[in-house]
Structure 1
Amino acid sequence: MISVIVPTYNEEASITTCLKSLSHQTLNRNEYELIVVDGNSKDRTCELARAYADEVITQTSKKVGGARNDGVLRAEGDIIATTDADCIIPPGWLEIIKDDFESNDIVQLYGTVYPIEEGIKHKLSLMGANTFSRIGYYTRALYYTLGCNTAFDKKAFVKAGMYRCIDAGDDLEVAQRMRKIGRVMLDDRMKVGFSMRRFQQFGTIKSVYEWLYIVTNGGKASKYSYSKRNYK
């Protein structure tokens, strides 16, 4: 079984679309479970999520990484897949994950992203990120994994220490520990629709700068708040 973990916080505008896309996969519904881990939302996120998720639990650990860890500890699957509440998941996503873990000796799998919102600027931004991800992977210089589109062997993930509970870069950092245990693999077929709402509301340059600042400061920085933001 595959356990899909979706962290949420005040996501009533997007959670239904995300979970609908996860409910209409080419993989049989009895082959995966959906676990929503909510960070004490003040809106209807949990109410809406219960219509699709197998479990909706309240987050007890800190940050987005902690929410994912909470979900993993409740998961029944031997494969863990993670995404975000503002993403749209293509129908074949889980089947690709299943096939890759069955056909390859891997501990972590990740893919690329495409923008949900229209606009050449968004396409170019994510084209750059995907190119960086591919170069890092094929040169073995950096595994640029994203929490919205990754999957783990559960036993290996727990053995590696799971996600660090930091402000940003937890999804990038975990791959460096996973690669010490086994093979980390990129599959270009494994795509998810990525929301550009942060860049639209706060600006691309500002958002990227804040992320880089936090990551280069070890993932913790009181100067900027990167998680649990409210979007218009």
Structure 2
Amino acid sequence: MISVIVPTFNEEEGVEACLQSLCDQTLPRDQYEIIVVDGNSKDKTREIAEKYADLVFIQTSKKVGGARNDGAMAAKYDILATTDADCFLPRDWLEKVLADFKKYPDASTIYGIVYPLEPGIKHKLSLLGYNIVSRLGYWTGTIYMTLGCNTAFRKDLFMEAGMYITADAGDDFEIARRMKLYGKVKLDTNLKVGFSMRRYIEFGAMKSIYQWLYIVRHGGTSEKYQYAGKEYGKK
């Protein structure tokens, strides 16, 4: 059914809540697997993850995109769903992902929107603005804001497209540029995930957005991508 990939690195403070929410889905537990790909954490992240996940291992590829790729290579199911270790997944998240792929058999990618986990009007307004831009980008076909915390793929098409690039940021936006060559990229605004604002708080919203948009614009422009010594993508 579905393989859920969660990249981690020193996430002992938030990973348990994330994995608990994944274990408490309306989809029967035997119909999905949880894969945690860890960046060699120095805290208790892996120890905590092993209580909930079906598979926990240390990544061999670079950066968060590489961790997601490693998870995809280890996945046993035909649908891949990605999220982050500091997110909260509503109980019907996986059920909605499956329903969307059934509703859109020509879709290569399904993605949703986000809401802030931290309190405060500033965070609510920030993600309200993000979700508005996400809708506008989708409706106009100019940008697909496929955040790594709330996106799912057909595994065979994801592999054929070349998987994630290994960049400092923006890899989750860039992937949609290639996935749309293999099938429709669909936004479901009812597919919502609780999103931590901690990185925006730490680095600043403007710097984070700039990094994402710069790499989406300039990164990964070739038609072929290298992963694990193999060449993927359009010929």
TM-score normalized by the length of structure 1: 0.91
Q: In the TM superposition, what is the alpha-carbon distance from 1:217 to its structure 2 partner?
A: 4.7
3-state secondary structure, aligned to 1:107: strand
**What displacement does 1:109 show?**
0.2
> Are the equivalent residues in 1 in contact too, given 2:169–2:211 (CA < 8 A)?
no
Q: Give unpaired runs (5+ residues) of structure 2.
A: 221-235
Q: Summarize the Cα distance change of 1:49–1:97 in structure 2 as closer, same or farther, 3 Å threshold.
A: same
Amino acid of the structure 2 residue aligned with 1:67 = A
Q: 3-state DSSP class of the match of 1:192? A: strand
Instruction: Name the CA distance, whole Å, in 2 between partners of 1:43 and 1:26.
Output: 31
Which structure's residues are more often strand, by fraction?
2
Q: Which residue pairs with 2:61 in the alignment?
A: 61
Deviation, 1:166, is 1.1
Structure 2 length normalisation: TM-score? 0.90
CA distance in 2, matches of 1:188, 1:4: 20
How big is each residue's C-alpha offset from its partner over 1:98-152, in whole Å with a ceiling of 9 and x where there is no partner? 1111121211000000000001110111111111111111111211110110000
Structure 1: state its 5+ residue gaps. 220-232
- Code of the residue aligned with 1:141 in structure 2: it is T
Task: Pick closer, same or farther for the CA change 1:212–1:102 going to 2, 3 Å.
Answer: closer
Alignment correspondent of 1:223: none
* Cα pair distance change 1:39/1:112, threshold 3 Å: same
Distance 1:46 1:159 in 2: 30
| Distance in 1 of aligned mates of 2:30 and 2:207 | 42
The amino acid of 1:53's aligned partner reads: A
Give, in whole Å, the separation in 2 of the partners of 1:173 and 1:210: 12
C-alpha displacement at 1:199, in angstroms?
Answer: 1.8
Q: What displacement does 1:218 show? A: 2.5
SS in 2 for 1:42: coil
What is the alpha-carbon distance in structure 2 between the residues aligned to residue 58 and residue 202 of structure 1?
26
What is the aligned partner in structure 1 of residue 130 from structure 2?
Answer: 129
The alignment-based identity, stated in percent, is: 62
SS of corresponding position for 1:130:
helix
Q: Aligned partners of 2:163, 2:130: CA distance in 1, in Å? A: 24
1:43 is aligned with what amino acid?
D
Matches within 5 A, 1:202-213: 202-213=203-214
Distance in 2 between residues matched to 1:102 and 1:210, nearest whole Å? 34
1:1-40 paired onto structure 2 within 5 Å: 1-40=1-40
Query: Which residue pairs with 1:120 in the alignment?
Result: 121
CA distance in 2, matches of 1:119, 1:212: 25
